[in-house]
Amino acid sequence: MLYKQNIIPGLFIIGYFFLLLMIFSLIPDKSSSQILPSVIAKSLPSDLNESQINFKTYENSTLGIKVQYPSDWIRMQNDTVYGTSINFFSIASGKISSTLGSFGIDITHTNGQQSLKDYIYSYSYALKKYHPNVKVDSLNFTNFANYPAYKMIFTDDKGFKLDQIWVEKNNTLYHIIYPIAHFISVPIMQKIINSFQIID
């Protein structure tokens, strides 16, 4: 049995598509494939790095997490019977921000019902069964926040690429998800990912 019924955290999807809608609302009435790269290229300096961005820290001892994110991003939280979803995403009014991105954390208490390895197997099976058009690009065992973890990169049926990481501590599953795209600053996202901590 899966820890959660949903395959991708709903709050993250809301934030991600909010981000995409913001981008496309700024694009003239042309094919997005024709205009999007040039619009984004103008918005992101080639030498942009995390030292140029102001970050603030979100810490929640109840949920056991700590993470840094750009100060101009907003945060949304959703509590359900399955757990808690927290989403951080950028939003700009009238322009494309240099810190475009989105980062979601899904937190579920497992009560030791299923090992992380078995969960990943069940998740992969459900993903293929209920989302046959989703392509799993890679699935690897790794280390994240100083704990054993699994990392999956997949491309959805719209062509959007997402990175997911699962890590478990003290019967709590932390599910990290964020988009991979040419218009999202890699240094900024890497700074967020590297700052993530599981705290007591």
Return d(Cα 53, Cα 68) in angstroms, integer. 11
> pTM for this structure?
0.78
Helices and strands per DSSP (H, E), number in the chain: 4, 10
**pLDDT for the residue 63:** 92
Choose among 92, 95, 76: nearest CA to 84: 76
Q: What is the CATH number of domain 10-198?
A: 3.40.1000.10
pLDDT in tens, 141-169: 999 999 999 999 988 877 888 899 999 99
Is residue 108 within 8 Å of 172, Cβ to Cβ? yes
Domain boundaries, the chain: 10-198
